[in-house]
Structure 1
Amino acid sequence: MIVPIDELFSRMKPFLSEALVGEQALGHVSEVARLLPEISGGFCLEARLEEGAPRVDYMVCCMRSDGGPKALAEGLAKAGDRLRGPLWDGVRAFSREWQDPASLLARVPVLWLEYDVEGPQTDPKPFAFACVQPDFGQRPPGGSNVAESLQLTRRAMEVFQGKPIPPAIDRTVARCFEALPEFGEVEHVAPLACRGSEAVRMIIGMPRDAVGEYLERVGWPGSRAQVEELTKTWLSYLHFAEVNLDAGESVGPTIGLALPFPEKPNDPWAREFLQRMVAQGLCTPEKRDAVLSWWGRERVPLTGDRWPSNLCRTVGAKLVVRPDAPLAVKVYPYFECRFSLWAET
C-alpha cells in the first residue's frame, strides 16, 4: 500500500532516537523523500554505528505485487523535470518496461531505490536495485534458475544504463553466477553509475559456510581466512548469509555481510550482539540503545483509510569489510505500513 511520505515520517519520528539519526540528518532525508515519487508504504534509513558518523541515507521499496510498476510510472510522470539526468532516464526506461507484461523485466518482483544523502539536495541520484529472483520471498533460499537470473541482470543493467554491460565487466558478473555454491543465488543487482563506476553491485545469498570459498573463487582480493573468521564470529546464528560485492573488471575490494535482526524487540541475542559491537568499538553505547528501542508495532488509523494499519519497525545491519581497513557497521531501521483488518500478534 502507498502512504503519503509526510504521514509516514510523522508517525516514525517519535520512535527514532537522535543518537542514531540526528535532527539535521533526518531533515536532509525528509527533503529528499519529498522530492521523490510516492511509491511505497515503507522506507529504510541507513545509519552508521561508529562514533562521529552522522550521515544517514535513504531507500524505498517498490513491489510489483503492490502495484509498484504503475505507482512508479505515475510518480515519475508527476515529478517531471524535477528528477532529471541519465540516471533518472534509466529508471524511467525501467519503469516503462516493468509495466509491459510481455517484457522480460515484468519478471522482476521488487525494485529498491537508494539515495546517498550527504547534505541538502535538490537533485537526488537514484541507486536502483532490481530483484532478479522472480519468486523472491515465496520459497526457501536456493533452487533458483541461474540462467534466467543472469538474463534478468543483463537486461536490467542495459535498461538502467542505456547500453549493455561492458564485456570485461560482464565476464566478472557471469563468473559470480557460475561460481555460486549449492543453494546460492544472486538476489539483487544495481548499476554503480550513481557513484561514478561502470561496475555492478550484486547482493548474493548463500549458505553461511560457503562464503569464504565463494569469495576466493570469484577473485575477491581480500583474505579468505579473515572473512571466514568474521562469518564465524558475527554470522554464527545464520544458516543463510547475504554478501554484497561489486563486479567490475574484477571483484572490488569492499564487501558487505548482511545481519538480519529478529522482529521481536529486545530479543536477548540481539542485545548481546550489539553489546559485542560496543565492546569492539564498532558501535557507541548510545547508538546501541537507539537500535534496541527502535523495534515495535502499532495499529493506527491512517488519514483517509477506513481500517487501521499496522506500522512495523524492524532493523537489519551490515558489516562492511575492506582489506587492510577497520571493520565498519551500518544499520538499517525499516518503517513499513501493513494493511490489516485485525490486530497482529
Structure 2
Amino acid sequence: MFERPLSGGEHPVDFFLWLSAKGRRDVLAGTHAGLPAAFLGQESWRRIRDFARGWEDETSPVHDVCSVWLEFDIRGRLAGVPNPLIFFTIEPHVSPRPVLELLQPRSFDSPELATLRRCWEAIPSSCRYRTVGVLYSRPTEALRLILILKPDEAFSYLERIGWPGAPGKLYQRMAPFFRFHSEIALHVDVHPQGVQPQVGMEIYVDEDAMYRGRGGDCGPLLDLTVKESLCTPGLRDALAVWPGTDTVGLSDGSTVRIERMFHHVKVVSQLDLSLQAKAYTTAEYEVSPPWNR
C-alpha cells in the first residue's frame, strides 16, 4: 500500500507492508534468510522479531493477532536501516497486553499506559476490529488506536474518552464523507499525558474496499475531496485512473500480473477543524512461471 498527501506540490510517498495471519507469519520472525542481520541492531526490529516468533507459535498469547502491517515514512534516500511503525489488529475478545509488552518497553499496567487502558475499555462492543500502532519512527510516546465504527459511535467515543476538541462540530464538518459507507476507521493517538488533538478518519467507497481491498468506483469520493478543497483536480484525475491490471513478461519467460487498486482516503483533523487528506492505493502481483502459460 502507498500513502500520498492530496494537497498540491511535491510530497513523499510512504508505503506499507501488510501481513495476514493466514499468510507468511514467519517473514518477520528471523527464522530464514530474509531479514538482514543489520536490522537487528535496532531495538524496534528486535522487538518486531520477538513478536513475530510468538505470532508463529500456536501456544503463544499473541498467536490470535489477525494481521500486522509495517509503515515506512520515506524522507529522501535512506542512509541506513529503515525504522518502521508497526500496527497489529485483534478481535474484541483479545487483549492487547501481550503484544504491547513485546513491542514496547512499558508494562501494560504501568501508569504511562493508564490513558490507553481507559480508552481501550471505552471501545464499543460493536467494534469488530481494533488496531494498535507503535510509532517507532516518530518523536512521540503516543500509541495509536484505529477502530472501525459507525460514524455516530465514533464521535460518541471521542466524547467519552475526553478528546480535547468539539466532537459535534467535527461531525458536521465531516458529514459529507459519511454517505459512502456505513463505517469509518477512526484514528486516535493516546499519549501518557492524554488523548492527542489530531484525529483521523479513513473513508472507504464501499464494503468491498474496507474489508477486501477491492472497492468500486473511487471517482465520487475523490470528487468530494476536490469540492472540500482537500485535493487538486490534477491529482484526483491521476488517482482515478490508478485502478487496473497489467501483465509484464520477465527475462526467464515468467509473467507477472499486477493489479492496482484504490483503497481509501484518510481525512485528518486538527482542533481548529482544519482538514488534510491522504490517498491510499495498493498494488498486488502474482508471478506465473513459463510452464503455466
- Pairwise CA distance, 1:307: 8.7
Task: Give 1 or 2: higher strand fraction.
Answer: 2
Q: Distance in 2 between matches of 1:195 and 1:90?
A: 16
TM score, norm. by length of structure 2: 0.85
Shifted more, 180-189 versus 284-293: the winner is 180-189
Q: Quote the residue 2:25 is aligned against.
A: 69
- Over 3 Å counting, the alpha-carbon distance change for 1:76 and 1:247 in structure 2 is farther
- Over 3 Å counting, the alpha-carbon distance change for 1:91 and 1:292 in structure 2 is same
- Pairwise CA distance, 1:197: 2.1
Q: Which of 162, 170, 195 does residue 227 from structure 1 map onto?
A: 170
Q: Distance in 2 between matches of 1:259 and 1:297?
A: 24
The 8 Å contact of residues 205 and 242 in structure 1, kept in 2 or not, is answered as yes
Q: Quote the residue 2:160 is aligned against.
A: 217
- Pairwise CA distance, 1:211: 1.6
Q: Which of 88, 93, 96 does residue 130 from structure 1 map onto?
A: 88
Q: Distance in 2 between matches of 1:305 and 1:101?
A: 39
Q: Which amino acid aligns with 1:86?
A: E
Q: Distance in 2 between matches of 1:255 and 1:305?
A: 48
Provide structure 1 residue ranges, at least 5 long, that are not aligned to the other structure.
1-43, 134-143, 341-345
The 8 Å contact of residues 186 and 202 in structure 1, kept in 2 or not, is answered as no
Q: Quote the residue 2:227 is aligned against.
A: 279
Q: Which amino acid aligns with 1:239?
A: S
Pairing 1:79–2:8 present: no
Q: Distance in 2 between matches of 1:327 and 1:71?
A: 37
Q: Which amino acid aligns with 1:50?
A: S
Q: Distance in 2 between matches of 1:97 and 1:193?
A: 20
Q: Distance in 2 between matches of 1:258 and 1:237?
A: 11
- Pairwise CA distance, 1:218: 0.6
Pairing 1:330–2:278 present: yes
- Pairwise CA distance, 1:254: 0.7
Paired residues, number:
278
Write the mapping of 1:258-297 to structure 2, written as runs, cut at 5 A: 258-261=202-205, 262=209, 263=214, 267=217, 270-297=218-245
Q: Which amino acid aligns with 1:252?
A: Q
Write the mapping of 1:1-345 to structure 2, written as runs, cut at 5 A: 44-66=1-23, 68-73=24-29, 74=31, 78-82=35-39, 84-121=41-78, 122-133=80-91, 144-145=92-93, 148=94, 151=95, 153-165=96-108, 167-249=110-192, 250-261=194-205, 262=209, 263=214, 267=217, 270-298=218-246, 311-324=259-272, 326-337=274-285
1:211-248, Cα deviation, whole Å (9 max, x unpaired): 21110101111111222113421122221121011111
- Pairwise CA distance, 1:112: 0.2
- Pairwise CA distance, 1:298: 4.4
- Over 3 Å counting, the alpha-carbon distance change for 1:118 and 1:75 in structure 2 is farther
Q: Which amino acid aligns with 1:315?
A: H
- Over 3 Å counting, the alpha-carbon distance change for 1:264 and 1:166 in structure 2 is closer
- Pairwise CA distance, 1:185: 4.4
- Over 3 Å counting, the alpha-carbon distance change for 1:169 and 1:131 in structure 2 is same
Task: Give 1 or 2: higher helix fraction.
Answer: 1
1:247 match: secondary structure: strand
Q: Distance in 2 between matches of 1:175 and 1:304?
A: 56
2:22 match: secondary structure: helix
The 8 Å contact of residues 215 and 263 in structure 2, kept in 1 or not, is answered as no
Q: Which amino acid aligns with 1:256?
A: G
> Could you tell me the percent identity over the aligned residues?
27
- Over 3 Å counting, the alpha-carbon distance change for 1:305 and 1:230 in structure 2 is farther
User: Could you say what the CA RMSD is over the residues aligned between the two structures, in angstroms?
Assistant: 2.6
Q: Distance in 1 between matches of 2:75 and 2:36?
A: 22
Q: Distance in 2 between matches of 1:291 and 1:275?
A: 11
- Over 3 Å counting, the alpha-carbon distance change for 1:329 and 1:75 in structure 2 is farther
2:188 match: secondary structure: strand
Provide structure 2 residue ranges, at least 5 long, that are not aligned to the other structure.
289-293
- Over 3 Å counting, the alpha-carbon distance change for 1:179 and 1:82 in structure 2 is closer
The 8 Å contact of residues 127 and 190 in structure 1, kept in 2 or not, is answered as yes
- Over 3 Å counting, the alpha-carbon distance change for 1:75 and 1:173 in structure 2 is farther
Q: Distance in 2 between matches of 1:213 and 1:76?
A: 47
